Structure 1
Amino acid sequence: MSSQASSPERGAGGSARREADGSARRAADGSAKRALTRGDVLDAAAAIVKEQGPRALTMRKLAAELGTAVTSIYWHVGNREELLDALVERTVADLGEIRAQGRSPATRIVSVTRALRAQLRGHPHLVAMVHERGLTERMFQPATQALVHEVHAAGLRGTQAAEVVRSLLFQVVGFVLVERNRERAPVQYPGDESLWDEATAEHDPALAKGLAAPPDPERLFLLSVRAMVEGLLGTRPRA
């Protein structure tokens, strides 16, 4: 009798626990959905663009990536065009986070160019998307303003200052384009290691060795930008 009486209690207790667990899971699921923010949507969209390019970004793919409904994506960011506009605005804002570092004017200017190069290399598809939407000049304005400030601090004004700023911007953008082209180029036959020897290097074995080795983009960038800055500012080149 006692065993029969206790069994329903155990069953009722188990049912109550299962119901409580189900309610907790539903509450957790509901809170997770409510926790989805516009920032989450933009983060996921930016990741898709960064990895696969703008054409790969669809509302269905984005919704699947976030584990939510397409209607939820529309609610947070609007349609695809509005989503792309929001990504562009955020990319422009991110590129504005450039702060000069160092004590001397030349060092601070070089630091701005390094930061800009890093940002352009870190967001190639997003940068291309900004360019396609006709906002390239706006995208570069924060970095340009940072360079203007540092060039003024170095004592340059007027047309000379403008030419220095634009020369540096051209150097950064051109360098990044060359880097990207080299990275995407097919394997070269023959390569540099086969093309350069003592004879082709005019009997300069060290030169031949240097040209046969893979280039070091970071070192080359710093070498070229430092030489430009020191020349444009009229300072003596380093030994």
Structure 2
Amino acid sequence: MARTALSRDQVLDTAAALVKEHGPAALTMRRLAAELGTAVTSIYWHVGNRESLLDALVERTVADLGTLRPHGADPAERIVSVARLLRRALRDRPHLVAMVHERGLTEQMFLPAQRALIHEAHAAGLRGARAAELVRAVQFQVVGHVLVERNRERSPAQSPAETELWAARSSAGTPDEDPALARALAAPVDTERLFTAAVGALVAGLLGAHTGPEPSTR
């Protein structure tokens, strides 16, 4: 049976998968060729040298984040949906996002999400500095949350863990404490739900306060 001809997209798909799983250091032309079952010369023909390949992966990552499509019944819901999609995109490809950052293209990567947020801010009646405040606040919330999540995942094991500390307080049942709160803090963190609640509260606050004084741009 004849082998299907290798395409540039196949090369980039396989290279992206290697980087996402093992990091940029694992991406060598020899390993990529082995994954694809082809010769190294074939890889060079499709994407050039390794630096050209990395540049192509960065371009693709920037383009991928331009495909975020908000959904929801009103601007607030759609803004939260943009934030959730952006968080998921950053979480799914940390090594590729780091490569984008190293090449000085971070702002370009975030531009499509910013445009989507601006559109929804205008739909909600925000203009000028207020719209800019909402866009930046949501973007900072997304990036900050992702960084905290990554830090928690990479931190050394804690002993006792947070869940164990609060479980002990819950079982103690002292009258000056809140047992239901202790039980909730003893449960594993649902980061997706926590993120959605935080962004929802942020957006509701910013949209609800748009009748007040204009924020300073100083």
**Please, what TM-score do these two structures have when normalized by structure 2?**
0.90
- Does residue 1:165 correspond to 2:157, yes or no? no
- Does residue 1:57 correspond to 2:31, yes or no? no
CA-to-partner distance for each residue in 1:57-78, whole Å, 9 max, x for gaps?
A: 0111111111111111111001
Question: 61, 74, 84: which one pairs with 1:91?
Answer: 61
Aligned pair count reads 205
List gaps (5 residues or longer) in structure 1: 1-24
Aligned to 1:89, the other structure's residue is in SS state helix
CA-to-partner distance for each residue in 1:187-218, whole Å, 9 max, x for gaps?
A: 21011133221579951111111111111101
1:111-122 aligned within 5 A: 111-122=81-92
Aligned to 1:101, the other structure's residue is in SS state coil
Which residue in the other structure is 2:100 paired with?
130
Which residue in the other structure is 1:204 paired with?
178
List gaps (5 residues or longer) in structure 2: 210-218
1:173-212 aligned within 5 A: 173-196=143-166, 197-198=169-170, 202-212=176-186
Aligned to 2:67, the other structure's residue is in SS state coil
Aligned to 2:136, the other structure's residue is in SS state helix
Identity of aligned residues (%): 70
Aligned equivalents of 2:81, 2:164: Cα separation in 1: 36
1:33-112 aligned within 5 A: 35-112=5-82
Aligned equivalents of 2:125, 2:145: Cα separation in 1: 27
1:137 positional shift: 0.6
Q: Which has the larger radius of gyration?
A: 1
- 1:87 maps to a residue whose letter is L
Aligned equivalents of 1:151, 1:193: Cα separation in 2: 39
Which residue in the other structure is 1:219 paired with?
193
Aligned equivalents of 1:57, 1:201: Cα separation in 2: 58
Q: Which moved more, 1:205-214 or 1:76-85?
A: 205-214
The runs of 4+ residues in structure 1 deviating greater than 2 Å are 198-202
1:182 positional shift: 1.2
Tell me how large the CA RMSD over aligned residues is: 1.5
- 1:72 maps to a residue whose letter is S
Aligned equivalents of 1:203, 1:71: Cα separation in 2: 68
